[in-house]
Amino acid sequence: MNELIWQLDYDFQHEPREKTDQLQEEHLLKHVNYCLRKSPFYSKRFGKSIAEITSLSELSKLGFTTKDDLLQNNDAFLAVPETDIVDTCFTSATVGTTPVNFHLTKSDLDRLTYNERVAFQISGVTREDKMGVCVALERGFMAGLAYFLGGVSLGTHMIRIGGARGLQHIWNLIKTHQPTALIGVPSVLANVALQAIEAGDNPASLKVERILAIGESTRDKQLRLLPSVNRIEQLWNAPIYSTYASTEMSTSFAECLHRQGGHFRPELIYVEIIDEQGNKVEDGEIGEVVVTPLGVQGTPLIRFKTGDMSFIINQKCPCGRTTKRIGPVVGRKAQLLKYKGTNVFPNAIASIVEANSDFFGCFVEAYSAEFGEDRVVATIAATSEKYDLDKLKEEFRAGLRVVPELRIIDKEEFLQKTQPEGKRKRQIFFDLRKGE
Ligand SMILES: [Zn+2]
């Protein structure tokens, strides 16, 4: 393998954009040509027609790689001899039923470590911190492993709290070890705090100085903090920094202290945002995030369609870093609802409900309707018996232009439906459309 881009003595976050772009392009070509030579999947797909590409303009010839490609041909993505594998990560089977394996070489593990160390630094974590990792570290979960390795390499004191043993367990360990930073899924950390408060404890009085949020967006399209996230900050008395990552990306986009989107990692990943037809959209426009993680040896990918809908922020960041940023994930492509002539994401519906203090939360169900439209039902839990539904309807009209069908249930029923025991993330969307 050629020298890896992230091992160069070069500051990808502060150097001039032109120089960084040029370095990235060189390494993107190296990476793609490595895939064409070494990956059975890619050499079978392109072997006869494309043996090599020599410029960025040729990249589009290679089409896209989908989740389905990975599911159907998982073994064919392995680009190294089996003896070079040192770790296997697998995805949680949230899409489809079969998890996908990602085999990592020693170099991939080093890359992952570097990736997370720099991501932590961008979010202000230092070696003085004590970090509570409130996500799974077992079950082949890549994120937990990356956090641990990245933190250790930064010199941070890591407390592997884990995520599988329930809210009480997480709270007990936080209380015992007094971390200064937490990393976890926002809705889970909200419930940990609420349960602790119910039992007479006060999470806001602990030493937590920052929370790194994974798996859920923390901001809306305008980069305003979601009301639910605002509430979590109050519960813990600590600011929340978003980090966007996935197993396929093997890369984290972390927010800096100014919290205006996750800084790009040009040394680790090439990002495109595409429209329905697969064409690149302008910076600032929402489209599907497509990634080519650079320098991955074991299970390398070219132009992987993440299914996440987001946008690129190209304005200068007050922190002085020169990299572009990725906006919040505004929804999953497969969750886009067509309702009364408007495109709506379930997340957007839920965040309007959560912004209204009369209501505790909401989940969304979609059914097929006529003429390619969807029927959208928002089921809402109220905080008390007194609530103003007309005001909420007004807020829907102002925020989304449409009002979904509304149904009210009690909090218990809501929690059972959205947060079943043992689930990594809460579920607020139920897709009951035909043929989905
Ligand atoms: Zn910044």
Report the C-alpha gap between 323 and 297 in whole angstroms: 25
Expressed in angstroms and rounded, the spacing between residue 244 Cα and the centre of ligand 1 is 15
Check residue 151 and give its pLDDT.
Answer: 98
Expressed in angstroms and rounded, the spacing between residue 226 Cα and the centre of ligand 1 is 19
Residue 107 reports pLDDT greater than 70 = yes
What confidence tens digit (pLDDT) does each residue in 309-365 have? 999 999 999 999 999 999 999 988 888 899 988 889 898 898 889 888 889 889 999
Expressed in angstroms and rounded, the spacing between residue 322 Cα and the centre of ligand 1 is 8
Check residue 20 and give its pLDDT.
Answer: 96
First to last CA, the chain: 41
The model's confidence at residue 423, banded by pLDDT at 50, 70 and 90, is low
Expressed in angstroms and rounded, the spacing between residue 189 Cα and the centre of ligand 1 is 25
- The answer to whether 349 touches 376, Cβ cutoff 8 Å, is yes
Check residue 404 and give its pLDDT.
Answer: 95
Residue 278 region, left (φ>0) first, then alpha (ψ -120 to 50), else beta? Answer: left
Q: Look over the chain and give the mean of its residue pLDDT values, rounded to a whole number.
A: 92
Backbone angles phi, psi at 80, to 5 degrees: -135, 160
CA distances from 254 to 20, 39, 220, 244, 379 (A): 18, 30, 16, 7, 33
Expressed in angstroms and rounded, the spacing between residue 223 Cα and the centre of ligand 1 is 13
What confidence tens digit (pLDDT) does each residue in 190-231 have? 989 999 999 999 999 999 999 999 988 899 888 989 888 998
Check residue 360 and give its pLDDT.
Answer: 85
Expressed in angstroms and rounded, the spacing between residue 12 Cα and the centre of ligand 1 is 13
- The answer to whether 389 touches 396, Cβ cutoff 8 Å, is no
- The answer to whether 374 touches 366, Cβ cutoff 8 Å, is yes
CATH architecture of 1-333: 3-Layer(aba) Sandwich (3.40)
Residue 43 reports pLDDT greater than 60 = yes
Expressed in angstroms and rounded, the spacing between residue 263 Cα and the centre of ligand 1 is 7
Expressed in angstroms and rounded, the spacing between residue 141 Cα and the centre of ligand 1 is 28
Report the C-alpha gap between 436 and 433 in whole angstroms: 6
Residue 436 reports pLDDT greater than 50 = no
Expressed in angstroms and rounded, the spacing between residue 22 Cα and the centre of ligand 1 is 22
What SS3 state is found at 242?
A: strand
Expressed in angstroms and rounded, the spacing between residue 256 Cα and the centre of ligand 1 is 5
Please tell me the pTM assigned to this model: 0.88
Query: 103 burial class (0-12, 13-18, 19+ CB within 10 angstroms)?
Result: buried
Expressed in angstroms and rounded, the spacing between residue 254 Cα and the centre of ligand 1 is 9
Query: Domain coordinates of the chain in residue numbers?
Result: 1-333, 336-432
Expressed in angstroms and rounded, the spacing between residue 18 Cα and the centre of ligand 1 is 18
Quickly name the fold that domain 336-432 has.
Answer: GMP Synthetase; Chain A, domain 3 (3.30.300)
Residue 421 reports pLDDT greater than 80 = no
Give the residue-averaged pLDDT of 27-34.
96
Expressed in angstroms and rounded, the spacing between residue 81 Cα and the centre of ligand 1 is 40
What confidence tens digit (pLDDT) does each residue in 195-205 have? 999 999 999 99
CA distances from 86 to 89, 103, 145, 179, 429 (A): 10, 8, 13, 30, 37
Q: Calculate ∠ Cα 143-204-155, nearest 5°.
A: 40
Is 336-432 in the same CATH topology as 1-333?
A: no
Expressed in angstroms and rounded, the spacing between residue 106 Cα and the centre of ligand 1 is 31
